[in-house]
């Protein structure tokens, strides 16, 4: 272990067992944050030069040294491992090793508390952007297939019981709208947490006239977390909201996958899941199992578990507490697994092969009863009377076409009026 950055002449011997427990997985988790920490450190160095705490040359040397660290980290020449207490210490150690006494100047006006807070906000902005991009892709795929397969009949279910004739177009457009909403949420939450805590130090500010706004601007934050105490109290709170955005998407993936696992069963036989998303059975030679659909359905559980873990860690008074370190594992685990899963969804959806004849044949004649009731309403009957009249005719609908039922379903959003252009416009506006 390189020397602890907090080591003083008076520091007693550290107990390595205790230190290992404190650092825990931190150094491994910080690998995901290091790039953001480096960028924030560069902005901080430039900010210090603007208030003459560093000379322009010193700041320049630091920025260049940090560029080299980023390169070494990206190429694997620098490994963030147990030699360091955490990513923050690794950055300072690197600077001191490369620049000597100049490197020891980087920590003026900051603490690891605001350092980790800013790295986490940059990380969350990045992952929410990625999430938004994936939601847009899923929505785009659903919209394209809704357009192409708009008129194909499918029995509509409520209570998992056949209800009314529906269409593949309506099914696809429904999932498209869900992912447009999820995209909007990812963007909104991304904006909500888009504020820089850097320069709040340990939670009380510092006696230097830091150029916090300039540093925030350089890092792409449109505003500051103004209050130093709140910069710490917001830790975990914003992580929870970031996970909300992720969980909205994974909950909708769960629903799509539930539909698909039913529709792909032999009993329904509506859809074939692409082979690349299936596995075989180790014992039953006949099996093609839609495992990817099932594990994508399970994805939401990871996010819900992470949220619960975060909520539990957050029972704290104001200010920094080392407990806050434990907000990192659930956040990173949830975004890691969540985005990896979501990135498989567009390919899965593109590869689905529907059995149109089987879907059409599954639309039983009595599913036309509601259409019939509304036809009678069109002829002037009160709905309740029409409902009873249609109920008495249940075995008279055999000659009806599902296509005609879909064509007549003209209420906005319904099968004959999916309004895909409106959905498309909303998607474009959010992209
Ligand atoms: N690993 C720590 C965390 O995530 C970094 C901040 C350490 N601050 C401290 N005062 N010990 O919270």
pLDDT in tens, 161-176: 999 999 999 999 999 9
Whole-number pLDDT of residue 258 = 98
Which pLDDT does position 348 carry in this prediction? 98
Decide if pLDDT at 385 tops 90. Answer: yes
Looking at residue 1, its pLDDT comes to 66
pLDDT at 288 over 70: yes
**Topology of the domain comprising 9-108:** Fumarase C; Chain B, domain 1 (1.10.275)
65 catalytic per annotation: no
Please tell me the distance between residue 69's alpha carbon and the centre of ligand 1 in angstroms.
21
Q: What is the pLDDT of residue 200?
A: 98
How far, in Å, is the centroid of ligand 1 from the Cα of 116? 7
Looking at residue 194, its pLDDT comes to 98
**pLDDT 10s digits, 78-94:** 999 989 999 999 999 99
Asked if pLDDT for residue 10 goes beyond 80, the answer is no
Pocket test for ligand 1, best of 14, 91, 113 (most atoms within 8 A of CB): 113
pLDDT at 308: 98
* Domain map (residue ranges) of the chain: 9-108, 113-153+165-361, 365-424
- Percentage of the chain modeled with pLDDT above 70: 100
Find the mean pLDDT for residues 366-395.
97
The whole-number pLDDT of residue 173 equals 98
Does residue 185 have a pLDDT over 90?
yes
Question: pLDDT higher for 9 or 358?
Answer: 358
> What's the pLDDT tens digit per position in 24-71?
789 999 999 999 999 999 999 999 999 999 999 999 999 999 999 999
Residue-level pLDDT at 299? 98
Closest residue by CA, ligand 1 atom 2: 325
Q: Is 200 in the pocket of ligand 1 (CB under 6 A)?
A: no
Examine the pLDDT at 113 and tell me if it is beyond 80. yes
Choice among 96-110, 169-183, 282-296, 346-360 with the minimum mean pLDDT: 282-296
pLDDT at 57 (0 to 100): 98
Q: What is the pTM of this model?
A: 0.95
Distance between CA 105 and CA 36 in Å, rounded? Answer: 20
What is the whole-number distance in angstroms between the Cα of residue 117 and the centre of ligand 1?
A: 9
Any atom of ligand 1 within 6 Å of the Cβ of 37: no
C-beta atoms surrounding 144 within 10 Å: 16
Across residues 235-243, what is the average pLDDT? Answer: 98
Please identify which of the residues 281, 288, 318, 417 carries the catalytic annotation: 281
Answer yes or no: is the C-beta of 26 below 6 A from any ligand 1 atom.
yes
- Which CATH class, in words, describes the domain spanning 113-153+165-361? mainly alpha
- Average of per-residue pLDDT values in the chain: 96
Query: In this structure, which long-range contacts are made by residues 318-324, counting pairs with CB atoms below 8 Å and at least 24 apart in sequence?
Result: 318/229, 318/232, 318/233, 319/203, 319/229, 319/232, 319/233, 320/113, 320/202, 320/203, 320/232, 320/235, 322/22, 324/232, 324/235, 324/236
Closest C-alpha to ligand 1, atom 11: 322
Q: What is the mean pLDDT of residues 320-340?
A: 97
Alpha-helical regions (H) of 219-271 = 228-233, 237-263
User: Is the per-residue pLDDT at 178 higher than 90?
Assistant: yes
Residue spans of alpha helices (H) in 264-314: 291-313
Active site residue 281: yes
User: Is the CB of residue 7 below 6 angstroms from any atom belonging to ligand 1?
Assistant: no
CB-CB contact of 240 with 330 (8 Å): no
Ligand 1 in contact with 225 (CB < 6 A)?
A: no
Distance CA 147, CA 304 (A): 34
Q: Which long-range contacts (CB under 8 A, 24 or more apart) does 145-151 make?
A: 145/172, 145/349, 145/350, 145/352, 146/170, 146/172, 146/173, 146/176, 146/418, 146/420, 147/420, 149/354, 150/415, 150/418, 150/420, 151/403, 151/406, 151/407, 151/415
The answer to whether the beta carbons of residues 368 and 398 sit under 8 Å apart is: no
Q: Which of 159, 282, 315, 411 is catalytic?
A: 159
Residue of 112, 120, 235, 239 to mutate, ligand 1, most atoms within 8 A of C-beta: 112
92 alpha carbon to ligand 1 midpoint, in Å? Answer: 14
Distance (Å, whole) CA 227 – CA 322: 20
């Amino acid at each position: 272990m390189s020397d602890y950055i907090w080591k003083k002449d008076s520091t007693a011997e550290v107990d390595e067992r205790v230190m290992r427990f404190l650092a825990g997985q931190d150094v491994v988790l910080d690998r995901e944050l290091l790039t953001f920490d480096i960028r924030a450190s560069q902005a901080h160095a430039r900010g210090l030069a603007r208030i003459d705490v560093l000379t322009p040359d010193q700041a320049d040397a630091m920025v260049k040294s940090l560029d080299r660290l980023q390169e070494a980290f990206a190429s694997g020449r620098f490994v963030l491992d147990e030699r360091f207490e955490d990513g923050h210490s690794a950055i300072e150690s690197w600077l001191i090793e490369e620049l000597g006494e100049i490197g020891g100047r980087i920590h003026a006006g900051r603490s690891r508390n605001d350092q980790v807070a800013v790295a986490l906000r940059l990380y969350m902005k990045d992952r929410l952007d990625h999430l938004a991009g994936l939601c847009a892709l899923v929505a785009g795929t659903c919209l394209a297939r809704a357009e192409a397969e708009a008129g194909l009949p499918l029995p509509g279910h409520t209570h998992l019981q056949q209800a009314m004739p529906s269409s593949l177009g309506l099914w696809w457009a429904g999932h498209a709208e869900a992912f447009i909403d999820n995209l909007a949420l990812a963007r909104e939450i991304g904006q909500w947490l888009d504020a820089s805590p850097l320069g709040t130090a340990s939670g009380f500010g510092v006696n230097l006239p830091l150029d916090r706004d300039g540093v925030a601007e350089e890092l792409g934050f449109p505003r500051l977390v103004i209050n130093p105490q709140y910069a710490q109290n917001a830790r975990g709170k914003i992580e929870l909201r970031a996970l909300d955005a992720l969980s909205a998407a994974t909950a909708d993936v769960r629903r799509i996958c539930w539909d698909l696992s039913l529709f792909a069963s032999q009993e329904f036989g509506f859809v074939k899941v692409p082979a690349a998303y299936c596995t075989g059975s180790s014992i039953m030679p006949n099996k093609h199992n839609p495992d990817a659909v099932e594990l994508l359905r399970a994805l939401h559980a990871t996010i819900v578990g992470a949220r619960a873990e975060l909520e539990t860690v957050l029972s704290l008074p104001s200010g920094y507490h080392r407990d806050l370190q434990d907000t990192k594992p659930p956040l990173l685990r949830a975004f890691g697994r969540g985005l990896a899963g979501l990135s498989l969804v567009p390919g899965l959806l593109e590869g689905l092969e529907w059995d149109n004849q089987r879907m059409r044949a599954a639309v039983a004649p009595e599913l036309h009863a509601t259409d019939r009731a509304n036809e009678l309403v069109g002829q002037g009957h009160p709905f309740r009377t029409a409902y009873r009249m249609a109920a008495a005719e249940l075995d008279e609908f055999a000659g009806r076409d599902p296509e005609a039922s879909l064509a007549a379903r003209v209420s906005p959003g319904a099968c004959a009026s999916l309004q895909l252009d409106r959905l498309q416009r909303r998607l474009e506006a959010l992209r």
